[in-house]
């Protein structure tokens, strides 16, 4: 992004690599003129956090800004506000930190706004036109070029690629339609079309976000900040803010600004000193509140300019291959607008309205006075860093990676939101994947009116980037919004007002009822119907006010959570099930204690000696009667409260029950499957146990048979073994045969198991593992015993077939000993 300084010579637009488009004459003119903010010097060199620390923090002396009024000149007074002596008039910027300012002393109203601070021409019809309430206002701005433009925007509000360029892209982009497609270097029509309605919405109590998105050097900063000839959205918006205040004599305002940047995924406070901002970056808390964040109270356009200049001085810009002064960070300028009705009542400095708590981060600073509500809204003006290709500079490439990642995340967040809105889904939105989306989360999730200006470079060489910007713009158009005004009310005063009105209405009703018989005689049938309708109306107004008292109390109880908007219609349904239950419990306790109180009061009344009907009412009696009345009234309110709570509670309970029934069914199914599996396991283990026992018995029988066999001297037809005539040794010896057998055990073992019905059993793997891990009984035999046995076997084998072939062992099926031996070796025991 580019901006020029009045302190430095304006930097000519000299890209390192020539841009494919030559700058237009307007482009050149805009570049040669100083910035409207007039002072912001952008750093041309890379600014890492460390180098930022070294940046001088002493603000340079500024020449006077061209406002018609001197700071020292006394402002016209707001009636009842002794502001002429206000210390605010003499404070310098650092003393305007909101935490050090008494908000009552920094109020702005139609009388204090300087005529020079307001927009000259105001189109009144635009003031209440906030654009489409539930859709994002999406506009395209095409940067002027003297080269051939690749895009055709001749049809209003649409843009498409010139036919001769469609083949240059892999997929032909379609014709795009947006709320506005703007061309040229004039910033005023751009402001009117894309920003003014949102600035007005912010002044009227809605959170509003305006952001510029686009490829590097496509004109985002030009659109938002502009220059002296062509002031951009930010300076024009600030003028409109003061114009709005000047045109609204019924309200008074407290304005506070903050200015941040997201650089390499860290949020820096541009209004804090660079050293403290680097040492303590801004964190986003769970409720979206930014801490620590410096907020400056502003009372005039001049003070807004000072804040902007200070922030601009700390911004990171650098020269890239495409933009001489490219923004290397996303910058967010926020104006918090608090307002309340002007009234006769004025807060004394430091006074706390009953029930009003000291300001919490993110909460309003203005106090609610005399039942007047305080509206709070935030206007955010965001200049995103430009998406870009890899650059020739290493540091730029690193920054570019962060920039592109956060823009990609913004793209995927917008994509998911659009998809959710289109298909009525609630898929997870990856806000947390980048600081930018985390910061924008409240706005993107529907809490704000949003206007997006997507800037494109129309050159042929930028077709791919421009198409990608247009696709982003198309997606964000689908995002659904639901911005609501945020109001906080002084419930004590409000309740008092309602109570008074109820009293009035009751008196009027009683009067009408008393006159009714006499009056009805005079009235025609039709008039009687009208009369009873009027009385009905009075009754329903009383009921309505009683309900309002109830809602105001709800609002009052919610004051602890300042971050939550406390609008009378929202409060009940915003609460979690737990909160609702807690409230219900507290209310029940309150009813109980009030019932006890009523009983005791009634008992006291009964215990009093009867008074003659004409006895004068003492003060005490009066008080008791009043209290009794209040208690009865409260009972009505609490009953209404319970009725109101009943529905949301039932809905919450149903939801929770539904969710948990599903989970319970799943758990039961899982448990049943587990039980079936365990039963099967037990069955298999039993079988295995039986098999083992059987095999053990067979082994014993075999051992007995072998020893009997030996004792009888039977050698399978060969010569009897005797000490005089020992058998011929087998080539390789018993050890070789042992090794062969061992190998055969491993190769044959599994197949036996696999043949069994245990193939599918959960114990199958264990058995196989055991078969490999545990030696067979034959292997466990002492060496001498084994040699003896093998000598016998090898003696037999030496007859037929040839030795050394393990298969031959199997072929001698006629030998029961060898058959059993083979079986024994292959089956693990």
> What does the DSSP assignment read for 570-637?
THHHHS-HHHHHHHHHHHHHHHHHHHHHHHHHHHHHHHSPPPPTTPPPPHHHHHHHHHHHHHHHHHHH
Q: Which of positions 320-359 make contact with ligand ATP (CB under 6 A)?
A: 323, 326-327
Q: Which of positions 430-469 make contact with ligand ATP (CB under 6 A)?
A: 455
In the complex, minimum distance from the CB of residue 388 to ligand ATP, in angstroms, rounded to a whole number: 7
Q: Which of positions 673-712 make contact with ligand ATP (CB under 6 A)?
A: none
In the complex, minimum distance from the CB of residue 10 to ligand ATP, in angstroms, rounded to a whole number: 10
Order of strands, edge to edge, in the sheet holding 176-177?
151-152, 158-161, 176-177
Closest Cα partner for 383 from 213, 237, 263?
Answer: 213
Establish how many alpha carbons lie within 13 A of residue 27's alpha carbon, considering only the half-sphere containing its beta carbon. Answer: 17
Cβ-based neighbours of 534, under 8 Å, separated by 6 or more: 512
* Residue span binding ligand ATP (CB under 6 A) among the ranges 218-226, 278-286, 467-475, 491-499: 218-226
Q: Which of 34, 173, 205, 214 binds ligand ATP (CB under 6 A)?
A: 214
Q: Does 15 bind ligand ATP (CB under 6 A)?
A: no
Q: Which of 81, 139, 153, 216 binds ligand ATP (CB under 6 A)?
A: 216
User: Are 590 and 511 within 8 A, CB to CB?
Assistant: no
Q: Does 173 bind ligand ATP (CB under 6 A)?
A: no
Q: Does 4 bind ligand ATP (CB under 6 A)?
A: no
Closest Cα partner for 299 from 230, 375, 241, 363?
Answer: 241
Q: How many residues bind ligand ATP (CB under 6 A)?
A: 24
Cα–Cα distance measured from residue 638 to residue 546, given in angstroms and rounded to the nearest whole number: 10
In the complex, minimum distance from the CB of residue 83 to ligand ATP, in angstroms, rounded to a whole number: 39
Q: Does 219 bind ligand ATP (CB under 6 A)?
A: yes
Cα–Cα distance measured from residue 515 to residue 517, given in angstroms and rounded to the nearest whole number: 6
Q: Which of 143, 316, 334, 340 binds ligand ATP (CB under 6 A)?
A: 143
* Residue span binding ligand ATP (CB under 6 A) among the ranges 210-218, 333-341, 366-374, 674-682: 210-218
Q: CA 452 → CA 195, 234, 470, 479, distances in Å?
A: 9, 14, 12, 12
Helix, strand, or coil (residue 505): helix
- What's phi and psi for 332, nearest 5 deg? -130, 115
CA dihedral 499, 501, 504, 506 (to 10 degrees): -70
The smaller minimum CB distance to ligand ATP, of residues 406 and 761, is found at 406
Q: Does 1 bind ligand ATP (CB under 6 A)?
A: yes
Establish how many alpha carbons lie within 13 A of residue 504's alpha carbon, considering only the half-sphere containing its beta carbon. Answer: 8
In the complex, minimum distance from the CB of residue 158 to ligand ATP, in angstroms, rounded to a whole number: 19
Q: Does 210 bind ligand ATP (CB under 6 A)?
A: no
Q: Does 417 bind ligand ATP (CB under 6 A)?
A: no
Helix (H) or strand (E) holding 224: helix 220-224
Q: Which of 386, 400, 411, 568 binds ligand ATP (CB under 6 A)?
A: 386
Q: Does 144 bind ligand ATP (CB under 6 A)?
A: yes
Q: Does 30 bind ligand ATP (CB under 6 A)?
A: yes
Closest Cα partner for 260 from 312, 203, 333, 360?
Answer: 333
Establish how many alpha carbons lie within 13 A of residue 354's alpha carbon, considering only the half-sphere containing its beta carbon. Answer: 8
In the complex, minimum distance from the CB of residue 324 to ligand ATP, in angstroms, rounded to a whole number: 7
In the complex, minimum distance from the CB of residue 320 to ligand ATP, in angstroms, rounded to a whole number: 6
Cα–Cα distance measured from residue 315 to residue 221, given in angstroms and rounded to the nearest whole number: 13
Q: Which of 31, 199, 260, 378 binds ligand ATP (CB under 6 A)?
A: 31
Q: Does 21 bind ligand ATP (CB under 6 A)?
A: no
In the complex, minimum distance from the CB of residue 218 to ligand ATP, in angstroms, rounded to a whole number: 5
Alpha-carbon Rg of the chain, whole angstroms?
Answer: 44
Q: Which of 149, 185, 684, 826 binds ligand ATP (CB under 6 A)?
A: 185
In the complex, minimum distance from the CB of residue 142 to ligand ATP, in angstroms, rounded to a whole number: 8
The smaller minimum CB distance to ligand ATP, of residues 26 and 688, is found at 26
In the complex, minimum distance from the CB of residue 37 to ligand ATP, in angstroms, rounded to a whole number: 14
The smaller minimum CB distance to ligand ATP, of residues 323 and 474, is found at 323
Helix, strand, or coil (residue 227): coil
In the complex, minimum distance from the CB of residue 438 to ligand ATP, in angstroms, rounded to a whole number: 21
In the complex, minimum distance from the CB of residue 461 to ligand ATP, in angstroms, rounded to a whole number: 15
Q: Which two tokens stand for residue 593?
A: 């204690």
Q: CA 672 → CA 668, 676, 680, distances in Å?
A: 6, 6, 12
Q: Which of positions 524-563 make contact with ligand ATP (CB under 6 A)?
A: none
Contact set with ligand ATP (CB under 6 A):
1-2, 13, 26-27, 30-31, 143-144, 185, 214, 216-222, 323, 326-327, 385-386, 455
């Amino acid at each position: 992004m580019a901006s020029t300084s009045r302190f430095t010579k304006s930097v000519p637009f000299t890209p390192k690599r020539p841009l494919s488009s030559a700058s237009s004459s307007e482009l050149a003119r805009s570049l040669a003129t100083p910035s409207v903010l007039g002072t912001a010097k952008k750093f041309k060199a890379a600014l890492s956090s460390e180098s930022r620390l070294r940046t001088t923090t002493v603000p340079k002396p500024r020449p006077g800004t061209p406002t018609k009024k001197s700071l020292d000149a006394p402002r016209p007074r707001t009636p009842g506000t002794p502001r002429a002596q206000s210390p605010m008039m003499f404070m310098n910027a650092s003393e305007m930190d909101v935490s050090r300012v008494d908000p009552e002393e920094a109020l702005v109203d139609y009388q204090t706004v300087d005529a020079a601070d307001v927009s000259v021409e105001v189109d009144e019809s635009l003031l209440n036109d906030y654009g489409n309430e539930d859709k994002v206002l999406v506009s395209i701005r095409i940067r002027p070029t003297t080269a051939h433009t690749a895009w055709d925007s001749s049809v209003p509000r649409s843009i498409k690629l010139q036919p001769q360029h469609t083949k240059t892209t892999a997929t032909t982009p379609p014709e795009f339609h947006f709320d506005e497609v703007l061309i040229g270097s004039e910033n005023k029509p751009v402001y009117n079309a894309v920003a003014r309605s949102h600035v007005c919405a912010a002044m009227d109590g809605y959170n509003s976000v305006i952001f510029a998105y686009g490829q590097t050097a496509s004109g985002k900063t030009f659109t938002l900040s502009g220059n002296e000839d062509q002031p951009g959205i930010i300076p024009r918006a600030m003028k409109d803010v003061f114009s709005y205040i000047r045109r609204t004599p019924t309200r008074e305002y407290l304005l506070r600004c903050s200015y941040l940047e997201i650089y390499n995924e860290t949020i820096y406070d541009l209004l804090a000193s660079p050293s403290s901002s680097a040492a303590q970056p801004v964190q986003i808390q769970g409720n979206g509140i930014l801490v620590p964040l410096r907020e400056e109270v502003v009372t005039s356009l001049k003070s807004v300019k000072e804040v902007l200049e200070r922030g601009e001085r700390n911004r990171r810009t650098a020269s890239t291959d495409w933009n001489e002064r490219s923004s290397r960070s996303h910058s967010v300028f926020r104006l918090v607008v608090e307002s309340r009705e002007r009234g006769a009542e004025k807060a004394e400095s430091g006074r706390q309205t009953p029930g009003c708590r000291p300001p919490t981060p993110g909460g309003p600073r203005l106090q609610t006075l005399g039942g007047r509500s305080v509206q709070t809204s935030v206007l955010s003006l965001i200049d995103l860093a430009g998406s870009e290709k890899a650059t020739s500079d290493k540091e730029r490439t690193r920054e570019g990676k962060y920039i592109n990642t956060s823009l990609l995340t913004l793209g995927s967040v917008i994509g998911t939101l659009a998809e959710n809105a289109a298909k009525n889904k609630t898929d997870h939105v990856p806000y947390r994947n980048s600081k930018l989306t985390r910061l924008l989360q409240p706005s993107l999730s529907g809490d704000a009116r949003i206007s997006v200006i997507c800037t494109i470079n129309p050159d042929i060489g930028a077709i791919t980037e421009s198409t990608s910007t247009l696709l982003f713009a198309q997606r964000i158009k689908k995002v659904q919004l639901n911005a609501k005004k945020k109001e906080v009310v002084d419930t004590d005063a409000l309740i008092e007002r309602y109570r008074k009105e109820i009293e009035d209405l009751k008196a009027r009703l009683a009067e009408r009822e008393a006159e009714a018989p006499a009056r009805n005689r005079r009235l025609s049938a039709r008039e009687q119907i009208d009369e009873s309708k009027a009385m009905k109306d009075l009754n329903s107004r009383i009921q309505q006010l009683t309900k309002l008292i109830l809602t105001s109390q709800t609002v009052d109880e919610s004051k602890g959570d300042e971050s939550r908007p406390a609008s009378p219609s929202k409060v009940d349904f915003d609460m979690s099930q737990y909160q609702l239950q807690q409230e219900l419990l507290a209310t029940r306790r309150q009813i109980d204690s009030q019932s006890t109180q009523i009983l005791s009061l009634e008992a006291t009344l009964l215990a009093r000696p009867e008074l003659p009907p004409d006895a004068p009412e003492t003060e005490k009696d009066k008080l008791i009667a009043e209290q009794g009345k209040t208690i009865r009234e409260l009972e009505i309110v609490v009953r209404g409260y319970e009725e109101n709570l009943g529905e949301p509670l039932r809905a919450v309970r149903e939801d929770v029950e539904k969710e948990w029934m599903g989970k319970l069914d799943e758990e039961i199914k899982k448990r049943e499957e587990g039980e079936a599996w365990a039963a099967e396991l037990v069955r298999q283990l039993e079988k295995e146990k039986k098999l083992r026992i059987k095999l053990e018995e067979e082994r014993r029988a075999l051992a007995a048979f072998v020893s009997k066999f030996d004792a009888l001297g039977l050698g399978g037809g060969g010569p009897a073994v005797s000490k005089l005539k020992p058998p011929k040794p087998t080539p390789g010896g018993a050890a070789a045969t042992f090794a062969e057998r061992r190998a055969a055990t491993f190769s044959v073992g599994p197949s036996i198991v696999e043949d069994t019905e245990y193939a599918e059993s959960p114990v199958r793997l264990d058995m196989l593992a055991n078969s490999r891990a545990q030696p067979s009984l034959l292997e466990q035999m002492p060496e001498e015993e084994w040699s003896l046995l093998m000598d016998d076997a090898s003696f037999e084998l030496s007859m037929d077939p040839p030795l050394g072939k393990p298969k031959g062992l199997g072929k001698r099926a006629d030998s029961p000993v060898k058959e059993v031996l083979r079986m024994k070796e292959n089956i693990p025991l």
